[in-house]
Chains A and B, each alone.
Chain A
Amino acid sequence: MTVVLLTKATRVATLLSGRKRAKWPSSSFLRRLLRNRSATFGGAVLIAAALAAVFAGAIFDADPLDMVGRPYTWPFTDRLHPLGTDMLGRDILVGLVYAARVSLAIGFAAAALSTILGVSLGVLAGYFGGWTDGLISRLTEVFQTMPPLILAVVVVTVLSPSVGSIACGIGIASWPQIARIVRAETLRLRDSEFVQAAVSVGEGHLRIVAGHILPNALPQIVVTGSILVASAILTEAALAFLGLGDPNEISWGSMIGAGREAMRTAWYMTALPGLAITAVVLSLNLLADGLNDVLNPRAGNV
């Protein structure tokens, strides 16, 4: 969740430097993105993980929770289980592939939830101002002052642990940051000439928001959103470590959670899903950097 702050602070730097942000780019966008090394790398890893998640069933026609081998088989010692087995004899490679599903699903669902919440509230507050802004800003503040991880823990506890409740908990805990960013962006855009022009020709609120404000705020939202996904995956792992996981699904976090008990005996059970998380989170951050470079070309040399 802290990750979001990074974009915000970078943005502060940008604003201070008094430069303008570029508008949502045109067709050359993809070409420029592909030319950006970190974005390409991040994107490639992410796509690979996503493919593994989608085609998990086709790659390994097995239930990842099945106990198929001798427990505590170390990686690279058994041809049948190349990455070894866990304490119950479940294949770790199969687990990692299937877990990509749940981890990515939780990551994207949580990010989507917080983005939807954050963008709608942020736009409302920034666009209408006045008491709407006051109310929403207070609400944002209330949520922001609560420690996000504890908030997520409470939500998951109230709803009892499942993939849905975990995504929900993380999403609810992380919307305030994106709301603040979008509110500030909306405030800035509302006073811009093109929005003023739209107002003067009598366009409706919805059209102005959907047609002028959102498209211009989109680069910021996309960059922040991709970092939110990364942070949600990390939070899921932390929740699983603290014992809040869905017992019927396998995720990288739950693999670490299960493996940590045997960490002293068989550290590979913790290390492998840990590496998977690091790889995906890393790729998401790189992608965000790349997007930031391409979408906000002068903003950051990050």
Chain B
Amino acid sequence: MSKPPPVAGTSRALRYLGLRCLQAVPTVIAIAVLNFFFLRLAPGDLVDTMAGEAGAATPEYMAMLRQLYGLDQPVWTQFLHYLSRLAHLDLGYSFRNSTTVLDLILSRLPNTALLMLSSLAVALVGGVALGTIGARWRGRWPDALISAISTVGFATPLFWIGLMLIVLFSVHLRWLPAGGMTDVEAGRTGLPYLLDVARHLVLPVFSLAVFYVAIYARMTRSAVLEVRDLDFVRTARAKGLAPRKVMARHVLRNALLPIVTMTGLQFGTLLSGSVVIETVFAWPGMGRLAFDAVFQRDLNLLLGVLLFSSCLVVVSNLCTDLLYSVLDPRIEVR
């Protein structure tokens, strides 16, 4: 993370914002270049995949497809075409999915965002609460229990937790759906629709959150312990503030800083964590889209998803920096 800016006024913040966006341009171009050539090293192309899925194909048919997809052109020509399309903000067409890459991404993005933001929220709340409790009862049994559970949660493969939850809650108890995002009964709108999505969200969110709760609990605990002994907290305590108020106003607020950094960084890894969980829970998200695109050699789609997620990371890093300087006045004086 580059050094957060000393924010004094809106104009300075805006200027900083502009500068950062400018800096991001070469990064995005580098990502496009790297992806384009690196992915091409993988043997086979989209036409191979489609012919393989068809079970049989004639050479004439494959030649026709390659011509249609522009795969018969030299790599450099293809690359220039790709760049010029990008310059027009056109991500291209996915022949494997018979629709435009942008449509695909826009239809999947909200799903992944919902999944990730919900798990982050659950993890944040759960983790901060558990971490605070742990710090409060440091060295005693609640602390030991919390750190034991969170350490184990942290060390267990995500997909394994997901699969076990399905077996227990969907197959045996039949309390929650095994996968998907909505029930197939079409036409639900409004509240029933939201409730339906919420029901489908429980297991995947829980599986992902188990992992993140561990991180947040550990961080909160150490941050709280760290801040607790600092001068200003001692002063507050000496002033006779109630311990609960000291905790809420001074300790937790300051302990939140590293957690904000963490959340910002995690937002950037939005896609990675979701690939596995989206696979297990048949969640129609971006992670699985990217993953399938690799194996189908759907380069337009994969490039599009990676570019899009890269931009998301750049933006989220930027937001974290800004938020950071707003949250912590000390940054300015340092």
A9 vs B152: C-alpha distance in the bound complex, in angstroms? 20
Is B225's beta carbon under 8 Å from chain A? Answer: yes
Apart from A242-B276, A278-B157, A301-B222: 7 A-B pairs, beta carbons within 8 A: A5-B266, A13-B226, A16-B330, A149-B272, A150-B275, A153-B291, A238-B158
A226 vs B291: C-alpha distance in the bound complex, in angstroms? 28
Structural contact, A278 and B275, CB atoms closer than 8 A: no
Is A25's beta carbon under 8 Å from chain B? Answer: no
CB-defined contacts of B160 to chain A, threshold 8 Å:
237, 256, 270, 274
Residue in A closest to B139 when the chains form the complex, CB atoms? A301
* Given known A-B contacts A147-B271, A263-B163, A302-B218, A154 and B294 have beta carbons under 8 A apart: yes
Residue in A closest to B280 when the chains form the complex, CB atoms? A241
Is A219's beta carbon under 8 Å from chain B? Answer: no
Scan residues 1-42 of chain A and give those whose CB is less than 8 A from a CB of chain B.
1-3, 5-6, 8-10, 12-14, 16-17
Task: Say how far A153's CB is from chain B's closest CB, in angstroms.
Answer: 6
17 A–B pairs (Cβ distance < 8 Å), ordered by A: A3-B215, A6-B219, A12-B261, A16-B330, A17-B226, A17-B227, A139-B30, A144-B268, A146-B309, A147-B290, A154-B38, A180-B1, A230-B155, A277-B156, A278-B155, A279-B155, A302-B222
Is B273's beta carbon under 8 Å from chain A? Answer: yes
A151 vs B228: C-alpha distance in the bound complex, in angstroms? 41
Contact with A along B39-66 (1 / 0, CB 8 A): 1011000000000000000000000000
A147 vs B285: C-alpha distance in the bound complex, in angstroms? 14
* Given known A-B contacts A2-B273, A144-B313, A302-B221, A150 and B290 have beta carbons under 8 A apart: yes
Is B151's beta carbon under 8 Å from chain A? Answer: yes
Is B287's beta carbon under 8 Å from chain A? Answer: yes
Is A201's beta carbon under 8 Å from chain B? Answer: no
Structural contact, A150 and B155, CB atoms closer than 8 A: no
Contact with B along A204-227 (1 / 0, CB 8 A): 000000000000000000000000
Interface size class of A (residues with CB under 8 A): 35 or more
Scan residues 248-287 of chain B and give those whose CB is less than 8 A from a CB of chain A.
254-255, 257-259, 261-262, 265-266, 268-273, 275-276, 279, 287
Task: Say how far B260's CB is from chain A's closest CB, in angstroms.
Answer: 9
* Interface majority SS (helix, strand, loop, mixed), chain A: helix
A264 vs B171: C-alpha distance in the bound complex, in angstroms? 10
Residue in A closest to B254 when the chains form the complex, CB atoms? A16
* Interface residues, chain A, with chain B CB atoms under 8 Å away: 1-3, 5-6, 8-10, 12-14, 16-17, 137-139, 141-142, 144-150, 153-154, 157-158, 180, 230, 234, 237-238, 241-242, 256, 260, 263-264, 267, 270, 274, 277-279, 281-282, 285-286, 300-302
Contact with A along B20-51 (1 / 0, CB 8 A): 00000011001100110011011000000000
CB-defined contacts of A285 to chain B, threshold 8 Å:
151, 154-155
CB-defined contacts of B275 to chain A, threshold 8 Å:
147, 149-150, 242
CB-defined contacts of B42 to chain A, threshold 8 Å:
154, 157-158
Scan residues 83-107 of chain B and give those whose CB is less than 8 A from a CB of chain A.
none
Is B167's beta carbon under 8 Å from chain A? Answer: yes
Is B230's beta carbon under 8 Å from chain A? Answer: yes
Structural contact, A274 and B268, CB atoms closer than 8 A: no
CB-defined contacts of A302 to chain B, threshold 8 Å:
218, 221-222
A277 vs B261: C-alpha distance in the bound complex, in angstroms? 29
* Interface residues, chain B, with chain A CB atoms under 8 Å away: 1-2, 26-27, 30-31, 34-35, 38-39, 41-42, 138, 151-152, 154-160, 163, 167, 171, 211, 215, 218-219, 221-223, 225-227, 230, 254-255, 257-259, 261-262, 265-266, 268-273, 275-276, 279, 287, 290-291, 294-295, 306, 309-310, 313-314, 328, 330
A137 vs B38: C-alpha distance in the bound complex, in angstroms? 20
Structural contact, B294 and A147, CB atoms closer than 8 A: no
CB-defined contacts of B279 to chain A, threshold 8 Å:
241-242
Residue in A closest to B229 when the chains form the complex, CB atoms? A17
Structural contact, B163 and A13, CB atoms closer than 8 A: no
Kindly identify which residue among A9, A241, A264 contacts B262, using a CB–CB cutoff of 8 Å. Answer: A9
CB-defined contacts of A301 to chain B, threshold 8 Å:
138, 221-222, 225-226
A264 vs B168: C-alpha distance in the bound complex, in angstroms? 11
Structural contact, A150 and B257, CB atoms closer than 8 A: no
Residue in A closest to B35 when the chains form the complex, CB atoms? A146
* Given known A-B contacts A5-B266, A12-B258, A144-B268, A150 and B38 have beta carbons under 8 A apart: no
